[in-house]
Amino acid sequence: MLFLALAVAFVASIILTPLVIKFAFRIGAVDRPNYRKVHAAIMPRIGGLAIFGAFMIGYAILRPADEHSTAILVGAIIIIATGFLDDMLEITAKAKLAGQLAAATVVVAWGGLQIDFITLPFIGQFDFGYFSIPITIIWIIGITNAVNLIDGLDGLAAGVSSIALISITVMAVIMGNVFVAATASILAASSLGFLFYNFHPAKIFMGDTGSLFLGFMISVLALLGFKNVAVVSLIIPIIMLGVPISDTFFAIVRRIRMKQPISAPDKSHLHHCLLRTGFSHRQTVLIIYGIAILFGAAAVLFSQATVWGAIILIIIMLIAIELFVELIGLAGTNYRPILNLVRMIGK
């Protein structure tokens, strides 16, 4: 039945996307070129409706059961509505954040999904107490916006999200979490079907309707699979989502260094930096896909490592990320602490 649901979701996405393209042009839900955009033509931008529709069809066939499932679906509908309104009306950042907060609150308050505690190596269990609710909400909103921020090139957010969802599926199978594995795989199939029209040169953008929905679902599914576990295991979803999380983190670092508001838009995200390096649109997307796959593989390897092995792996990854960031100028062209140190030592 799972394979049927996956096949139906994949095909439904392929069938629904052209219908959404026509609908987007009819209602004026289009993305017009400007100085921050890399596309030169008017594009329909509510492709997330096709992903959501395909996902719901596949989900209805399989109907995976979980105590949190109803709240997750309600939260997803809220986030889809928020993204759709932004794609149509370009609502304020505060209004968009309010929608994300409402969706996260439904999952946490009604669905009861919370990170109550973690188990620290060599120390023992650490309870979050009253902070469990805000920590969980911050996680959901943070990952939702991280996926939203990487949606800057044809096929980028859909591909990276699909890779993250496949990684979550693999880890859920290893951990025996049937609901997370089934839901994540159906959503991955829906996103991959959408890529037929979204990969460069794209015929449609997913818009905030899609990127917020994918980010929200990824954040919740990752949380469902790894809540209330050892802190080492809690790092697994962070590794899986290494591309959007690192891009968002260094965007914040970059804006603080430039004394700009954290929410200020710019053209210095990961894909912008790779484009400036000389890679083509398609090459840039494929490189980021490759990085996302490496993060996914590292997460699986991390889950099978000992505590000390996991710590060593994290240190190696952090150094590699920092060097890559400095080489492409992700945190700013003059941000090169490790490279400058190496150059000083070499003199």
Band (pLDDT 50/70/90 cuts) for residue 347 is low
Q: Which residue has the higher pLDDT, 118 or 224?
A: 224
- Check pLDDT > 60 for residue 275: yes
Query: Residue 249: phi, psi to the nearest 5?
Result: -60, -50
pLDDT score at 238: 80
148 is in an annotated binding site: yes
Which among 54-58, 219-223, 272-276 has the top mean pLDDT?
A: 54-58
C-alpha 295/C-alpha 145 separation (Å) is 19
Look over the chain and give the mean of its residue pLDDT values, rounded to a whole number: 86
Q: Which residue has the higher pLDDT, 193 or 176?
A: 193
Cβ-contact 164, 292 below 8 angstroms: yes
pLDDT 10s digits, 1-14: 888 999 999 999 99
Cis peptide before 244 (omega within 30 of 0): no
Band (pLDDT 50/70/90 cuts) for residue 229 is low
pLDDT score at 53: 97
pLDDT score at 115: 78
Helix (H, G, I), strand (E, B) or coil at 118: strand
C-alpha 291/C-alpha 278 separation (Å) is 18
**Among the listed ranges 79-88, 134-143, 145-154, which one has the minimum average pLDDT value?**
145-154
Residue among 160, 165, 323 nearest 245 (CA): 160
Band (pLDDT 50/70/90 cuts) for residue 22 is very high
Residues 45-69, mean pLDDT to the nearest whole number: 91
- Check pLDDT > 70 for residue 72: yes
Helices in the chain by DSSP H: which ranges? 2-27, 48-62, 69-89, 93-105, 132-149, 156-175, 178-198, 207-226, 231-240, 242-257, 270-277, 281-304, 307-328, 337-346
Residues 253-269, mean pLDDT to the nearest whole number: 74
Q: How many residues does the chain have?
A: 347
pLDDT score at 121: 61
C-alpha 30/C-alpha 23 separation (Å) is 10
Residue 9: which domain range? 2-346
Helix (H, G, I), strand (E, B) or coil at 125: strand
Provide the percentage of residues in the chain whose pLDDT is more than 70. 91
pLDDT score at 194: 97
Residue among 302, 112, 86 nearest 220 (CA): 112
pLDDT score at 38: 53
- Burial of 81 from C-beta contacts in 10 A (0-12 / 13-18 / 19+): middle
* Domains contained in the chain, number: 1
Chain centre to alpha carbon of residue 293: 13
pLDDT score at 345: 79
Residues 106-128, mean pLDDT to the nearest whole number: 77
pLDDT score at 270: 83
- Check pLDDT > 60 for residue 228: no
Amino acid identity of residue 161, one-letter, is: S
31 is in an annotated binding site: no
pLDDT score at 66: 79
* CA angle 141–147–151, rounded 5-degree value: 140
**Rg of the chain over all Cα atoms, to the nearest angstrom:** 20
| DSSP state string for 239-287 | HHTHHHHHHHHHHHHHHHHTT--TT---S-SHHHHHHHHT--HHHHHHH
pLDDT score at 289: 93
| 28 CB neighbour count, 10 Å cutoff | 8
C-alpha 113/C-alpha 217 separation (Å) is 13
Q: Treating both helix axes as pointing N-terminal to C-terminal, what angle do 48-62 and 207-226 enclose, rounded to 10 degrees?
A: 40
C-alpha 106/C-alpha 287 separation (Å) is 36
**Among the listed ranges 25-39, 96-110, 269-283, which one has the minimum average pLDDT value?**
25-39
pLDDT score at 276: 85
C-alpha 311/C-alpha 333 separation (Å) is 30
C-alpha 151/C-alpha 158 separation (Å) is 8
- Burial of 173 from C-beta contacts in 10 A (0-12 / 13-18 / 19+): middle
| DSSP state string for 18-47 | HHHHHHHHHHT-EE---TT-S--S-EE--T
Residues 260-280, mean pLDDT to the nearest whole number: 78
pLDDT score at 35: 53
Residues 46-67, mean pLDDT to the nearest whole number: 92
- Check pLDDT > 70 for residue 124: no
pLDDT score at 59: 94
Residue among 193, 196, 191, 167 nearest 180 (CA): 167
Query: Residue 124: phi, psi to the nearest 5?
Result: 125, -160
- Check pLDDT > 80 for residue 193: yes
